[in-house]
Structure 1
Amino acid sequence: MELIQQVPELSAYLAADAAVDHHHPLVRETAAQLRADHGDAYAYAKAAYEFVRDTIPHSADSGDMRVTWRASDVLAQGTGICYAKSHALAALLRAEGVPTALCYQRLADDDGSNPVVHGLVAIHLPGMSGWARQDPRGNKPGVDAQFSVTEERLAWSVRPEYSEVDYPILFAAPHPAVLAVLQAADDRPALWRSLPTDI
């Protein structure tokens, strides 16, 4: 898919904010540990992706009731849904100078009902002419997302016949609707009842 760059400067995709808090000591420490064994940008980006995908369970898969939204909290508590895990990956990548955008899909059940917005990231590595989307949601039976800059290996491909959508916009900060529901939810069941259905 073609991604639309909303902010002309790559520096916007290196910024820290309340959710992508890559200035936090835990984010910096985690990034430094990953960087120590992965020197170039591609190897580091792949290692950071696999770290978030594989070592931080998606809370719906693990049954964790806690809701996280800051990258540092995701790393500290070891849990999060797709949006939170995307914030954590963006923070780890931005901490080491990899421009990272937040992006979204709208997904639905097999009959097109129950639409929900799904969060992922897009990265821009040295030598790349564009952006490559990555989905750190976490794998499970039926989901096999992989790090790739040559072809998309996301958790899900959209099905237009079910009104599913790849939103083409590269966000430098989390979408306000996403951030609002994460911050308002007392627990994951409450979050599940308020997930955005469109952005």
Structure 2
Amino acid sequence: MQRYLSASTYIDFDTPDVRAAACRLAEGRASEADVARACFEFVRDEIRHSVDFKLNPVTCKASDVLRHGTGYCYAKSHLLAALLRANGIPAGLCYQRLSVGTEGAPYCLHGLNAVYLKDFGWYRIDARGNKPGIDARFDPPRERLAFPVREREERMLPEIWAEPLPVVVETLARYGTWDQVLANLPDVELLD
């Protein structure tokens, strides 16, 4: 579990601002699940999704997401992992492969998290941000994610990564504006 509790370049909860935010979110919470819920709801509701709000800069590191109050789903998942890990709760990164439109190609990755809760085991949560048609919630053991998998080429990738996928980091580093990222969303090839 140690790799799901460690600080890193992109999940940088060792920075003072992220650590302070994690402490504030945990304050007065009685249980691990209460702390996880507070962290999830903060990222989902207070950090604005770059596309929904047409916001720059493009962020990747958890500390930058917190500082600027915005990020793509991938960056928001980095902040949520950082807040959870700072509170001693194991957290990893998950991805879905989804259609960019309503169906069919092109496809892209969508970033979300898995948190390890003692009472439930690994539990996926999606702090992308709600809006009409999207209603992600923290409701263990039931997963209430932002997007359903609807067709054969879409997939919930089964892995729980301790670090972001390189293709995600490369995309967020390469493009300077939210609309450039939107035009070049990361994807992976399916093996089967």
Name the residue aligned to 2:124. Answer: 133
Name the residue aligned to 1:197. Answer: 187
Aligned residues: 188
> Does residue 1:74 correspond to 2:65, yes or no?
yes
Equivalent position to 2:83, from 55, 73, 92: 92
Q: Which runs of structure 1 show a deviation greater than 6 angstroms over 4 or more consecutive aligned residues?
A: none
Equivalent position to 1:113, from 95, 105, 113: 105
SS in 1 for 2:113: strand
Equivalent position to 1:150, from 128, 141, 146: 141
Map 1:181-192; keep pairs closer than 5 Å.
181-192=171-182
Map 1:3-82; keep pairs closer than 5 Å.
10-82=1-73
Equivalent position to 1:122, from 107, 114, 132: 114
C-alpha offsets along residues 131-151 of structure 1, whole Å, 9 cap, x if unaligned?
110000000000000012211
C-alpha offsets along residues 40-60 of structure 1, whole Å, 9 cap, x if unaligned?
210000000000000011011
Amino acid at match of 1:127: D
Gaps of 5+ in 1: 1-9
TM-score, with structure 1 as normaliser = 0.91
Question: Is the Cα–Cα contact under 8 Å of residues 51 and 182 in structure 2 kept in the other structure?
Answer: no
Question: Is the Cα–Cα contact under 8 Å of residues 65 and 189 in structure 1 kept in the other structure?
Answer: no
Question: Is the Cα–Cα contact under 8 Å of residues 56 and 70 in structure 2 kept in the other structure?
Answer: no
More strand by share: 2
- How far apart are the structure 1 equivalents of 2:54 and 2:8? 28
TM-score, with structure 2 as normaliser = 0.94
Question: Is the Cα–Cα contact under 8 Å of residues 104 and 119 in structure 1 kept in the other structure?
Answer: yes
C-alpha offsets along residues 42-81 of structure 1, whole Å, 9 cap, x if unaligned?
0000000000000011011111132000101111100001
Deviation at 1:198, TM superposition (A): 1.5
SS in 1 for 2:79: helix
Gaps of 5+ in 2: none
Deviation at 1:39, TM superposition (A): 3.1
RMSD across aligned positions (CA): 1.1
Amino acid at match of 1:186: G
- How far apart are the structure 2 equivalents of 1:110 and 1:186? 26
**Identical-pair percentage:** 45
